[in-house]
Amino acid sequence: MRSLLVSLRFGLSALMAGGLICIGGLPGAAADTVRASQWHLRSLAIGTAHSLSQGDGVTVAVIDTGVDADHPDLVDAILAGKDFREPSGNDLEVRRDMDRRGHGTSMTGLIAGRGRGGAGGVLGIAPKAKVLPVRHTWGGLDFKGETPTAIRWAAGQGAKVISMSFGDHGGIGLELAIREARAADVLLVASAGNRPESRQVRFPARYDGVVAVGAVDRSGRRAGFSVTGPQLALTAPGVGITSTRPRGTGGGYGTGSGTSDATAIVAGVAALVRARYPDLSAPEVVHRMTSTADDKGPAGRDEEYGFGIVNPVRALTAEVPPLDPAPDPVGPGRPGDATTQGTQILPGGGERAWSQRTLLVDGAGVVVLGLAVGGAVLLTRTRRRRP
């Protein structure tokens, strides 16, 4: 039966840039169509991986559009989350948040689907992990600073993995929130972005220490829409991926393509590894995933596949050499120094690139050097607090 495409009227540019290209419904599916259509489970040998780990005891925060927590495949998988779309005084705890756009529900199913629904149901990469839904504005610039606040809140709730299937512009607030989460031993995963909207790896995937994820198709080749760049760390299946949808939309299931899907899959693998090796730090988990990936393209890390296609079974079983404490496995940034880049949208529709350098001074102050290309030079200094 011909799939029914679901129109996403809001935030289309962000969906394209950060992850999901299209979603098709699966109405009237045969008895085993849903599970059988999850080709990525077979490609990644998830059955074997589940004999070793299923993500028990790991909480994965999904910063996205919310989740339909009453979906049959997601019952018992969802923790009480938070809605950051409104000012802080009106933040709402969301347990049964109806995800009107479907993106967050889809990513959640890929990570922790229980496989209990009809037509075989959607089985997640880490079906015994818990998902913490964190809702934020979808599309456009995050002027209210919701994403940094959402990252800090998720880290404070005990999330061991944060999955961010979106891409946008960077900023000092987001950079510092990423650093704080990393300091709390949180593993951060984000989508590299989709062409043609994204010309390079987007933020937050572009930051050092964040696992930037690209997409491959069934044959293991890089998907044509998957953005390339030196920040790319891993790739994973991202073409024609079946997952959960809010109930009433295409029978509660749909098919999508994008680096969003690949990101959720890598986040699920991270949950498997964290459950099997609870004593490993987040960088050590990343090191285990990148060093056991199936190398593609030129030998070693490259701009199309990163370290390669994630391999859950090898990540769970291989003997991996200890991580050198000096380098970061997914970014060689200097401690205490960060460079943030972005693009300013001008009133006439043009763009202007900008960059800024943040220097952390003994944890007591921040010095920011900003330079807008073609614009004025801004120098701001925050005085150090006296003891």
pLDDT, tens digit (0-9, with 9 covering 90-100), for 326-345: 667 787 433 334 444 444 44
Q: Is residue 322 part of a domain?
A: no
Whether residue 186 is found in the same domain as residue 296: yes
Determine the number of helices (DSSP H) and then strands (DSSP E) in the chain. 10, 15
Give pTM, 2 decimals. Answer: 0.80
Looking at the DSSP assignment, which residues form a beta bridge with residue 134?
A: 63, 82
How many domains is the chain partitioned into structurally? 2
Three-state DSSP class for residue 211 = strand
Three-state DSSP class for residue 11 = coil
**DSSP run (H or E) holding 135:** strand 130-135
Confidence of residue 90 (pLDDT cuts 50, 70, 90): very low
Q: Is residue 330 part of a domain?
A: no
Q: Please give the pLDDT value at position 157.
A: 96
* CA-angle at 145, arms to 143 and 149, nearest 5°: 165
Q: Is 260 a catalytic residue?
A: yes
pLDDT, tens digit (0-9, with 9 covering 90-100), for 11-68: 334 444 555 554 455 544 443 589 999 999 999 999 999 999 999 999 999 999 989 9
Q: Is residue 327 part of a domain?
A: no
Q: Is residue 300 part of a domain?
A: yes
Q: Is 103 a catalytic residue?
A: yes
Q: Is 71 a catalytic residue?
A: no
Q: Please give the pLDDT value at position 281.
A: 97
Given 103, 136, 169, 287, the catalytic residue: 103
Q: Please give the pLDDT value at position 305.
A: 98
Given 226, 260, 261, 287, the catalytic residue: 260
Whether residue 309 is found in the same domain as residue 347: no
- Least confident span in 172-181, 227-236, 281-290, 358-367: 358-367
Structure-token pair, residue 289: 């995933």
Q: Is the pLDDT of residue 95 over 70?
A: no
Per the structure, the complete domain to which residue 347 belongs is given by 337-381
Given 40, 53, 64, 73, the catalytic residue: 64
Whether residue 241 is found in the same domain as residue 299: yes
Three-state DSSP class for residue 106 = helix
Of these ranges, 19-23, 100-104, 116-120, 363-367, the one predicted with the greatest mean pLDDT is: 100-104
pLDDT, tens digit (0-9, with 9 covering 90-100), for 237-276: 999 999 999 987 667 999 999 999 999 999 999 999 999 9
For residue 102, what is the domain's CATH number? 3.40.50.200
Q: Is the pLDDT of residue 309 over 60?
A: yes
